């Protein structure tokens, strides 16, 4: 193990991995490629053509928070008053109605996710209103999974009980880091006790699956401090952990300009921080999942890993292999069998369109057969660190020629890291930091002048 690290790390440096940037490939083509020639008409025809016997997944975006953390790159706005949330909610409920009018009668939802922002900004009554409006228009399957992103500083037992009464069975808790100096530097203060109380409330309400979001690459983090965060997380025993690399993108997320860049770790240190945290999680029994998730061996995600059943969507890793994810709310992206469509991003544009009685789909991309095949190949790299040609041939037919150029380039550039055979290719060494770069090699749209977050 040590030998591999010793010989591999200079190799990563030589390949420029520590400084490299690439999309996170939660979709392919990525949102940068969306354009306004694909919008409402496309969304309507995709919705109407969905097979009634295949359940869909639903994402609802709640773009409001009471606090605005400096590090956060999510699309959200701060509010201390209830009125913008109340007004927004009315529009989301109207959008559910508009979408349901397009859908074939009887179609059901099997996965529902509320994200943000902070969905727990909603009151118990608002939670009931939104969840029942959705269930009434798009009934849920008996075994539906309903997950919600939770800010431990903006939740109480009444809200959790209201969510559980509406079927919430998975929760994702934002932690990031427990060290006080790191929390101060990222403008997000949250004591261990607050997080612990949130976990206790969720468990008391019988929520069976808990995820925690942790970040590496934050200002002032050291190997000792991140280990302390991991140890504290371990005492709370979440089923899943998302260990994301902090994406410092102040040109997009303006509030990140408040972060002292001189306190950020460099690429090599980020890499080491991840390795330290990952090793600790693996040693304590968590199974690594994809590039940045960990799950208890009994969790669905760990079980799906290595069996070709892991998938990637806008929420990160999932066991959901749906063809359709309907995104509701401002800026939400829908995935349809033939492409992607995004809703108006600004809340004001979104509400204006809904008021006019129309869907708000304003940009997207229609996918070709080639796009679908490359999307599947990139998905395999991000989930399985390999591409399996027989699976691609089975799903798309014999012609894999659109992969040839990337494979030839990889054979030149990454021959010590990727192994090639008749049945596909496989990333053979420490793979997390390299996976996004290998995926990028297959991206037919990549524009190297575009700015992405660091891969390691
Ligand atoms: C919607 S927030 C979580 C829910 C809730 N609002 C909270 O703060 O607890 C989603 C997650 O995105 C991740 N995230 C936000 N900004 C990020 C960034 N700049 N880089 C990496 N991850 C980020 C954080 O881990 C965060 O928990
Ligand atoms: S981390 Fe959560 S609470 Fe903080 S700004 Fe982002 S979405 Fe809002």
Tokens of 220: 């002032």
Give the pLDDT of residue 5: 34
Residue 36 CB neighbour total at 10 angstroms: 8
Q: Tell me the torsion sign for CA atoms 176, 182, 183, 187.
A: negative
Among the listed residues 36, 37, 38, 22, the one whose alpha carbon sits nearest the alpha carbon of residue 443: 22
Report the alpha-carbon distance of residue 371 to residue 23 in Å, rounded: 16
pLDDT tens digits for range 182-220: 999 999 999 999 999 999 999 999 998 999 999 999 999
* CA-nearest residue, atom 6 of ligand 2: 72
Average pLDDT of adjacent 10-residue blocks, the chain of 456 residues: 38 60 90 95 97 97 97 94 96 97 97 96 98 98 97 98 98 98 98 98 96 98 98 98 94 95 94 95 96 96 93 88 94 96 93 93 96 97 96 96 95 91 88 84 82 61
Tokens of 346: 């600004």
Indicate whether this model's pTM tops 0.75: yes
69 C-alpha to ligand 2 centroid (Å): 5
Tokens of 71: 């590090």
136 C-alpha to ligand 1 centroid (Å): 30
β-strands 287-289, 240-245 pairing: unpaired
CB 148 within 8 A of CB 163: yes
- The domain locations on the chain are 1-29+368-445, 31-328
CB 324 within 8 A of CB 308: no
The answer to whether the CB of 151 is under 6 A from ligand 1 is yes
β-bridge partners, 336:
339
275 C-alpha to ligand 2 centroid (Å): 26
The answer to whether the CB of 72 is under 6 A from ligand 1 is yes
Among the listed residues 187, 178, 180, 177, the one whose alpha carbon sits nearest the alpha carbon of residue 71: 187
* CA-nearest residue, atom 2 of ligand 2: 117
Q: Domain 1-29+368-445 class?
A: mainly alpha
Give the pLDDT of residue 432: 66
The DSSP code for 263 is G
pLDDT tens digits for range 33-82: 999 999 999 999 999 999 999 999 999 999 999 999 999 999 999 999 99
Give the pLDDT of residue 11: 58
Among the four given CATH numbers 3.30.70.1560, 1.10.540.10, 2.40.10.10, 3.80.30.20, the one describing domain 31-328: 3.80.30.20
């Amino acid at each position: 193990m040590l030998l591999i690290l010793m010989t591999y790390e200079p190799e990563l440096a030589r390949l420029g991995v520590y400084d490299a940037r690439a999309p996170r490939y939660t979709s392919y083509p990525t949102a940068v490629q969306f354009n306004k020639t694909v919008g409402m008409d496309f969304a309507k025809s995709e919705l109407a053509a969905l097979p009634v016997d295949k359940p869909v997944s639903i994402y609802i975006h709640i773009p409001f928070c009471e606090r605005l953390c400096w590090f956060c790159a999510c699309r959200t706005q701060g509010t201390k008053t209830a009125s913008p949330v109340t007004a927004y909610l009315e529009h989301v409920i109207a959008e559910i109605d508009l979408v349901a009018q397009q859908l074939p009668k009887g179609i059901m939802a099997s996965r529902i996710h509320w994200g943000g922002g902070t969905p727990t900004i909603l009151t118990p009554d608002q939670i009931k209103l939104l969840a029942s409006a959705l269930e009434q228009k798009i009934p849920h399957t008996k075994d539906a999974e309903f997950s919600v992103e939770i800010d431990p500083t903006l939740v109480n037992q009444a809200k959790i009980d209201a969510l559980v009464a509406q079927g919430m069975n998975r929760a994702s808790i934002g932690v990031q880091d427990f060290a006080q100096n790191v929390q101060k530097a990222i403008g997000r203060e949250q004591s261990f006790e607050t997080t612990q109380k949130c976990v206790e409330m969720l468990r008391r309400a019988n929520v069976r699956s808990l995820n925690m979001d942790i970040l590496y690459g934050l200002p002032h983090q050291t190997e000792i401090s991140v280990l302390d965060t991991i140890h504290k997380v371990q005492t709370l025993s979440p089923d899943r952990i998302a260990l994301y690399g902090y994406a410092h993108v102040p040109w997009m997320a303006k509030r990140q300009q408040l972060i002292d860049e001189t306190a950020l770790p460099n690429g090599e240190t980020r890499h080491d921080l991840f390795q330290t945290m990952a090793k600790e999680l693996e040693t304590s029994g968590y199974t690594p999942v994809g590039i940045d998730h960990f799950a208890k061996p009994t969790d669905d995600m760990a079980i799906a890993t290595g069996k070709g059943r892991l998938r990637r969507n806008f929420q990160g890793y999932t066991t959901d292999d749906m063809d359709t994810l309907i995104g509701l709310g401002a800026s939400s992206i829908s995935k349809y069998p033939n492409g992607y469509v995004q809703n108006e991003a600004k809340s004001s544009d979104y509400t204006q369109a809904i008021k006019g009685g129309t869907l708000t789909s304003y940009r997207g991309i229609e996918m070709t057969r080639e796009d679908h095949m490359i999307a599947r190949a990139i998905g395999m790299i991000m989930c399985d660190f390999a591409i399996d040609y027989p699976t691609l041939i089975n799903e798309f037919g014999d012609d894999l020629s659109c992969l040839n150029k990337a494979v030839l380039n990889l054979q030149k550039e990454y021959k010590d890291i990727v192994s090639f055979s008749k049945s596909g290719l496989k990333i053979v060494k420490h793979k997390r930091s390299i996976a996004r770069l290998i995926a990028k090699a297959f991206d037919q749209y990549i524009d190297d002048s575009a700015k992405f977050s660091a891969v390691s």
